[in-house]
A and B are shown apart, each in its own frame.
Chain A
Amino acid sequence: MANKQSMLAVQGMSCAACAAKIEKALKSMSGIKAARVNLPAGKVAVEYDPEQINISETTKTITDLGYQIAAEDFSFKITGMSCAACVNRVEKALRSLPGVKNAAVNLATESARVEYYPAVVEGVDIKKKVETLGYQTGERLDAQSELDREREAREAEIRRQRVNMWLTWPLGLIAMLGTMREMWIFDRFVPAWLASPYTLWFLTTPVVVIGGWQFFVNSWRGLKHGVTDMNLLYATGIGASYMIALINTLWPNAGFGGPKATFYESAALLTAFIVLGRYLEALTRGRTSEAIRKLMHLQAKIARIVRDGKEIEIPADEVQIGDLITVRPGESIPVDGKVTEGYSSVDESMITGESIPIEKKEGDEVIGGTINKTGAFKFTATRVGKETALAQIIQLVENAQGSKAPIQKIADVVAGHFILGVHLLALAVFLFWFFIGYGWWFTPNSTFLLSTSTIGTIGVFGFSMLLSLTVLVISCPCAGGLATPSAIMAGSGKGAENGILFKGAEAIETTSRLDAILFDKTGTLTRGQPSVTDVIAIGSFSQDRILQLAAAAEKNSEHPLGEAIVKEAEDKGLIIGKATSFKAIPGHGLEAELEGSQVLLGNRRLMQQWKIDFSGALQQVEELEEAGKTVMFISIDGMFAGLIAVADTIKEGSAEAVRLLKEMGIKVSMITGDNRRTAEAIARQAGIDHVLAEVLPEDKANEVIKLQEQGDRVAMVGDGINDAPALAQADVGIAIGSGTDVAKETGDIILIRGDLRDVASAVEIGKATMRKVKENLTWAFVYNTLGIPIAAGLIYPWTGWIVSPQLAALFMALSSFSVTMNTLLLKGFVPSLKKSRTVEIKRLKEGLA
């Protein structure tokens, strides 16, 4: 075969030595004909013999040397997968492709996300690989089209299985009636011709050939490529039952229970039950992805924009940045923007989870997809299309739903090997009953479980094969395959509903098992902006007068403390005068001339410099400083007039969040670069006992490591900017949403509205989701551990019971159905804080009424 060439984009090469190192390492590999590094372009051209070396080995060598190869993400649709074994099969095939770094397939969203090296493999090759396994592939479109397509595909599957149901069930039931003609009173109304093996053959053949065709085709496609899935279990089960019945019809003395024993009803009902399972699965699978559908429906279709002074309606996706948009009461806001005119309250609950409408005035931000409640207003579009907060949220939720939790990876591996194990077991069961079991325990009075019919004079081959194929049918791993992805989808959707965005399944799983949470102080536990907390007037001066003069003196100041004083005065409605003269005294404060008075405002050194006596207020100063507040002294015309204390205050809800987390048994700590006294004051208010103060931003990650070294699973809650290293180091980084640009936030979880109570809700949702995963997996495990031994004839020697293939098929269908139904219960889950808030609001409304 001719040599091949690939161009790899390599990151991290800084000099010619790097280039030489890579070239040397590559050239030393057998099969590499040439390797050339283009340092300025950051590219490595490799010529290799594909018969001797796989290109993935070269990428591994380069990464082993410490460089990174730029990989790209490629997402696409896969339809036709039915169980975890399919997932495993597709992933295995994709990972075997040269140039594919990683592949994650999601059964619930019917999608694949592949990380690949574009120089080595292309999207079209990746899809082709999947198609050779017998699945259909398609493009992943934007979320809306994606949803439409997913719905169409699901509806088509529902229609297909419904048609199969209409065929298999009536014919299967008639075949069963024919088989049971000689039982009870059936011979009075079931005609004799219906019990004829030839009639039953005629009835069963379309059931098996048409209804069961899908299983034969899919399993053969897989086997050709050396992979198996549960279709193979069905195909072997259905095929074997049908063949037994056919042999019994053509050669009645072959040993399958004589001329009166037919297995047609087994083949027919087995197919019918499997089709029923497929139908139920198609019906319920889409319901777990309802969160995205709900978010999609929030998007407004129409926007009313002002052009040339006239209001015109245009499709919302045609709005451009800078367009002026009008919104009337009750309307949905089409895109993100800033209010320029008008006043209203907006229901943002669908995005932030906040149930109380938020007031909007000029200058405030509005979020596309939220509902305008009372007034009309105009706003300028600042983000449109895929840049809007809603579009970013949808993207994040989609990614989370498509990701894989560590627990699921284990389940997938188990399911992948399960099919093979089941066939081995079926062979072992057959050999055991053939050579040992039949001779020792068989009795003609044996009955089928949950049935009164006996199996009669069945021969050793018929009996052994019956047990063998029942094992195949009952062992379907679909419940195990659906257990985790369905719960992860429901959990991430539940998070989005409450303003909590999980960026991946791993974040959900780790959040459910947290031992410690570290909160950043400024901007996370606190508002991040100083505000006036105390105004103490001394002598004849009033509090308002002090504040008024201080605000006038600070009016032009850009210092955060000055801004806090001006804001407080404005909030109190005080008229702020204008200073006739103003002089800043660096490191001390300021001196201003106001309304004919001299005002000094600053720290104690300023007072000492001007020899102003403030000894009478020393105790109050000490108390305020002890509480972590910054104290400003004010004197008017040389007389000490009072104190103004300014401090960063804790956010509403911070203390409640800490209390809840402590109740959950999580260690809560605070980390800050501030001095210990201020830090401890804030920690006291929040109810945090453990404080890490005076920590430099770059050392925050080290503090996280220290906790991890103690064996704790740690979450770091921060604002996502200066805390980025700590957020990345933590097992779970929780970023407090700043504004609506959620995609830019670092961290594994994003709290859209920046309310710390959502940290507690995130932990609750994580726990509830993982509880569902565990319940589902336990159910699947219990089902298989009970079902398989019973089907294999473990209790037969004592009870004389065996499981009929059709009953095994019913159990199998019910197992995956029950897992999906159990997951759907998560839709009713409400975080405890939201629950208590809803009750509170209800009470308030009742009170008002």
Chain B
Amino acid sequence: MSEEKVTTISAVIYLGISVVLALAFFAATGGSAYNTTARYGGAIWVFILAMIITMPVVIPQVKKRYR
């Protein structure tokens, strides 16, 4: 499998996981307890950290699986 394909599949997986986590955070903060900044800011921060965490885990796994 080509390098580009590995990159694409990996990106789909880690982006997917990160988006899901960010949305989960956003949903968990619904209601009146948190203001908009906290909800959006928190979701973005969760997304960034989730990306950083999942990228180095997902990419080698995809490489291993498809090569």
Contact = CB atoms under 8 A, between A and B. Distances in A.
Given A254-B37, A255-B35, A226 B55 contact: yes
A226 B10 contact: yes
Interface string B9-34: 01000000000000001001000001
A426 B58 CA distance: 19
A424 to B, nearest CB: 6
For chain B, which range describes its interface: under 10, 10 to 19, 20 to 34, or 35 or more residues? 20 to 34
Contacts of B63: 96, 226
Contacts of A427: 46, 49-50, 53
A460 B45 contact: no
Contact of B56 (A51, A255, A420): A420
A525 interface: no
A228 B63 CA distance: 16
A95 to B, nearest CB: 12
Interface in A225-263: 225-228, 232, 236, 240, 247, 251, 254-255
Interface string B26-67: 001000001101100110011011101101111110010001
A343 interface: no
Given A226-B60, A228-B52, A255 B45 contact: no
Majority DSSP secondary structure for residues of A touching B: helix
A226 B35 contact: no
B52 A465 contact: no
A306 interface: no
Given A254-B37, A423-B52, A434 B42 contact: yes
A424 B67 contact: no
B52 A51 contact: no
A280 to B, nearest CB: 27
A224 B56 CA distance: 8
A311 B56 CA distance: 66
A251 B1 CA distance: 47
A54 interface: yes
B45 A465 contact: yes
Given A226-B59, A430-B45, A459 B38 contact: yes
B31 to A, nearest CB: 12
A468 B56 contact: no
Given A251-B37, A430-B49, A228 B56 contact: yes
A461 B44 CA distance: 11
Interface in A422-469: 423-424, 426-427, 430-431, 434-435, 459-461, 464-465, 468
A423 B45 contact: no
B28 to A, nearest CB: 8
Nearest to A428: B49
Given A236-B52, A255-B37, A423-B53, A430 B46 contact: yes
Contacts of B42: 430, 434, 461, 464-465
Nearest to B43: A461
Contacts of B50: 427
Contact of B41 (A222, A247, A419): A247
Contacts of A54: 67
A426 B49 contact: yes
Nearest to A468: B45
A254 B41 contact: yes
A217 interface: no
A465 B45 CA distance: 8
A35 to B, nearest CB: 21
Nearest to A92: B60
A460 B49 contact: no
Contacts of B34: 460-461
Nearest to B1: A51
A41 to B, nearest CB: 31
Nearest to B53: A423
Nearest to A463: B38
Given A459-B35, A459-B37, A223 B55 contact: yes
B53 A424 contact: yes
A34 B35 CA distance: 67
A461 B38 contact: yes
A225 B63 CA distance: 10
B12 to A, nearest CB: 14
Nearest to B51: A223
Nearest to A53: B67
A112 B27 CA distance: 48
Interface in A184-237: 222-228, 232, 236
A598 to B, nearest CB: 90
Given A461-B42, A465-B41, A226 B52 contact: no
- Between B28, B37, B59, B63, the greatest number of chain A beta carbons within 10 A of the residue's beta carbon is seen for B37
B45 to A, nearest CB: 6
- Between B53, B60, B63, the greatest number of chain A beta carbons within 10 A of the residue's beta carbon is seen for B53
A368 B57 CA distance: 54
Contacts of A424: 53
6 contacts: A54-B67, A222-B56, A226-B55, A227-B56, A240-B48, A424-B53
Q: Which 5 A-B pairs have the closest CB atoms?
A: A226-B59, A461-B38, A254-B37, A427-B49, A255-B37
Interface of A: 51, 54, 96, 222-228, 232, 236, 240, 247, 251, 254-255, 419-420, 423-424, 426-427, 430-431, 434-435, 459-461, 464-465, 468
Given A251-B37, A459-B37, A464-B42, 5 more contacts: A54-B67, A226-B63, A228-B55, A255-B35, A255-B41
